[in-house]
Chain A
């Protein structure tokens, strides 16, 4: 059993990176606006379905940037319709509003693409490659590589461009950012666009291994969300760490205990972590004056 450990770890890491990427998407909007899109799973599924329809026309590689742009537009609409008008409503109206938006998106895509799961052609050959005693599918490498590349790209944008710094400034002090001439409303829209773009991209990346359909996003988004909450919604690094933790817990449980229970340890870790540290493992408390 133990000799298969490297194999299990590889699969845990590849799962974990995808969860991390989705978690990263939640963190992007949370820092700028203290809200997240609870319909992120639908953004992911719609991204994958659009990618599926575009691949025959554009080819796999040219389809990627188009899907990312599409995801961005989708996020922009989510913010304008489901988040901005509901910020003042009682008991976190945006939670339900983004869920509702997701329901509509799922239903519309069911009517376009059908309810059945569709196979997504992988651009890479199906022969596994041996790396350090574990066999790795090229698709898995693509998932890990693509997710890391996207996160690095967003980090570079955030750290090294003035606009990215404006995002960070809005996250730190929204009012002061406005005083410095930053249109914080646009920044928040922009963060939702970025967030849904990462989700759509995550959808295209995992589609070859999970099948593609309007319902594919729910479970993935849930795990990504657990990862984000576990890491603490305020930390990008925390999102990735949370993703890896949950991915590994899942792969290890599936292999050594039972596939049926594979989701439970990750969720238990989450509940235990929040009992002890309600702001998440890497999150920090936002001071509140009394």
Chain B
């Protein structure tokens, strides 16, 4: 589905990520974990075309995404939910959802209505808040809306950057419950997460990043109990995790 080969990218002259290789299969939930500054967000930004790679390539269903701007990548079915949600704050919840479907291929009225119903069924809170300005939603609601907005694009692959960022534990578990549900429906997703345990609990496959490179990979179940993984995201101190 999504193949990443020898991908390098960065800001200015220096590369932040180096020669990444990743593979995401249809229906898989892949997580990318690692400490702050490891290059996880940069990886997602490069995949979705916000950042031009300095080397390597990204293939979506065989299409080479190299050099395409993010709006073209999105139109091809790869949708990125950015770090910090980045909602259209002055627009209503409904407008945010409508714009999620801005570039998708199937724009028939019925298909749109169907997807809207689906999204509002998954996120019933958004139905109540449909005409409210997105900027006035609480943090948890904003994260829900950001995911819902991306779902409206009917993506083949969805990238989620730190869906837990700034959320209270209760809300984090709600967001992850929804991610589990989407996975059960067979959606293909890549999740970047600073709380490795959360991501490893729902993912099929995991990649561990440090200093811009992938240092470990394997089935999520296997990495969950791995001491080396803890090294990567808590810098060697287990904080009494054992």
Contact = CB atoms under 8 A, between A and B. Distances in A.
B70 A169 contact: no
B212 interface: no
A175 B82 CA distance: 9
Contact of B69 (A176, A178, A180): A178
B48 A176 contact: no
A175 B99 contact: no
B86 A182 contact: no
Contact of A176 (B75, B86, B104): B86
A46 B49 CA distance: 39
Contact of B104 (A168, A181, A185): A181
Contacts of B89: 172-173
Interface of A is mostly: helix
B113 interface: no
Contact of B98 (A162, A175, A176): A162
A168 B86 contact: no
Residues of A in contact with B, size category: 10 to 19
Residues of B in contact with A, size category: 20 to 34
Interface in A150-168: 162, 165-166, 168
B122 to A, nearest CB: 18
A168 B50 contact: no
Interface in B83-119: 86-91, 95, 98-100, 102-104
Given A171-B90, A181-B153, 5 more contacts: A168-B95, A169-B99, A179-B86, A181-B75, A182-B102
Nearest 4 CB-CB pairs, A to B? A181-B103, A176-B86, A181-B74, A178-B70
Interface of B: 48-50, 69-71, 74-75, 79-82, 86-91, 95, 98-100, 102-104, 149-150, 153
Interface of A: 162, 165-166, 168-169, 171-173, 175-185
19 contacts: A165-B91, A165-B99, A166-B99, A169-B88, A169-B95, A171-B90, A172-B88, A173-B86, A175-B86, A178-B69, A178-B74, A179-B48, A179-B70, A179-B80, A179-B82, A180-B79, A180-B150, A182-B99, A184-B71
